[in-house]
């Protein structure tokens, strides 16, 4: 086909996630080697934690900045701070009041962006003309450094939940759009021709044939999208002082409290994992046909 608009450009410009590459997200193994792998992973984690805790205590190694617990903290201190943060004790504020807005903004921004971006991508991928017309605009918009727009967003939407949602949306929107676009275009000519000959309208072709592929590609980009959403919301909070996990990081940085910074990072990571886990369960249900036909 003549126009191959986004597909030439997007892989370089944006991380389009090819769902067939991620597959089930795991390498298939027999259960014995899986046990060995899990055990090795646990071992690696323990070794890293032990090294982090005890290497700086060897001789005068902590003289070196990179091994100075003042800068890098230690697992035991991070653990203690994390407990304080979770329970809101010993003068540390409870994390929940901060996590709430960040988590909520990330989820709302993510969901709206996935739906709106996914639908836009599906439309652009289904109608060659629309794709050809809008491609340069989309690519140009995607090249805009979104962080630079944060002040404008705050002026427009105030410094609150709304701003955070808009910031997450701006970033995730393009991930969804590019993936839905690519997915819509993977439908091969003979499959399109077949359904057209069976009486499908252009609308049928879009919703009944292209949409499932767009959905598969868009959902496969969720791991990227989830982390983008959280990163952009936290960045926004750091820059604007909107209450949230970003504010905790700012406070910890001002107080030179690296244990607190690490504790906040751990909470955010767990949060991201939780979102990914939900997303993966959703994908397994909806896309069993895709996962199974690998």
Does position 201 bind another protein by CB under 8 A? Answer: yes
Q: What is the C-alpha separation between 264 and 252, in angstroms, rounded?
A: 9
> Which residues have C-beta within 8 Å of that of residue 266, sequence separation ≥ 6?
78, 82
Residue 285 is a binding residue for another protein (CB under 8 A): no
Residue 193 touching another protein (CB under 8 A):
yes
Determine if 3 is a binding residue for another protein (CB under 8 A): no
Shortest Cβ 287–another protein spacing (Å): 8
Retrieve residue 98's tokens. Answer: 């901060």
Question: Counting contacts by CB under 8 A, is residue 198 touching another protein?
Answer: yes
- Closest separation between CB of residue 177 and another protein, Å? 22
Q: From CA 20, how far away is CA 216, in angstroms rounded?
A: 9
**Shortest gap between Cβ of 191 and another protein (angstroms)?**
5
> Of the candidates 3, 194, 253, 269, which one interacts with another protein according to CB under 8 A?
194
User: How far is Cα 252 from Cα 239, in angstroms, rounded to an integer?
Assistant: 15
Distance of alpha carbon 124 from alpha carbon 118, whole angstroms: 10
CB 234 within 8 A of CB 271: no
Binders of another protein in range 209-238 (CB under 8 A): 209, 212
Q: How far apart are the first and last CA of the chain?
A: 26
Residues 49, 67, 191, 265: which binds another protein (CB under 8 A)? 191
Kindly state whether residue 199 participates in binding another protein, applying the rule CB under 8 A. yes
Contact status: 31 vs another protein (CB under 8 A): no
């Amino acid at each position: 086909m003549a126009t191959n608009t986004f597909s030439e450009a997007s892989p370089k410009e944006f991380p389009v996630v090819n769902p067939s590459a991620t597959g089930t997200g795991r390498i298939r193994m027999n259960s014995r080697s899986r046990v060995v792998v899990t055990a090795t992973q646990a071992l690696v984690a323990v070794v890293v934690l032990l090294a982090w805790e005890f290497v700086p205590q060897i001789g005068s190694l902590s003289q070196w900045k990179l091994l100075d617990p003042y800068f890098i903290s230690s697992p035991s201190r991070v653990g203690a701070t994390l407990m304080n943060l979770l329970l809101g004790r010993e003068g540390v504020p409870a994390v929940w009041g901060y996590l709430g807005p960040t988590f909520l903004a990330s989820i709302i921004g993510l969901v709206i962006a996935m739906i709106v971006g996914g639908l836009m991508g599906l439309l652009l991928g289904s109608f060659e003309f629309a794709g050809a017309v809008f491609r340069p605009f989309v690519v140009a918009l995607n090249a805009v450094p979104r962080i630079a727009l944060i002040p404008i967003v705050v002026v427009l939407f105030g410094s609150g939940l709304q701003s955070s949602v808009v910031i997450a949306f701006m970033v995730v929107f393009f991930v969804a759009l590019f993936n839905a676009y690519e997915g819509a275009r993977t439908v091969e000519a003979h499959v399109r021709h077949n359904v057209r000959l069976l009486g499908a309208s252009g609308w049928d072709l879009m919703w009944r044939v292209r949409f499932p592929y767009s959905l598969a590609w868009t959902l496969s980009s969720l791991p990227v999208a989830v982390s983008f959403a959280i990163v952009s919301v936290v960045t926004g909070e750091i820059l604007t002082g909107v209450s949230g996990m970003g504010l905790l990081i700012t406070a910890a940085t001002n107080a030179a409290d690296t244990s607190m910074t690490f504790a906040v990072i751990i909470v955010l990571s767990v949060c991201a994992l939780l979102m990914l886990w939900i997303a993966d369960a959703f994908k397994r249900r909806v896309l069993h046909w895709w996962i199974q036909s690998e």
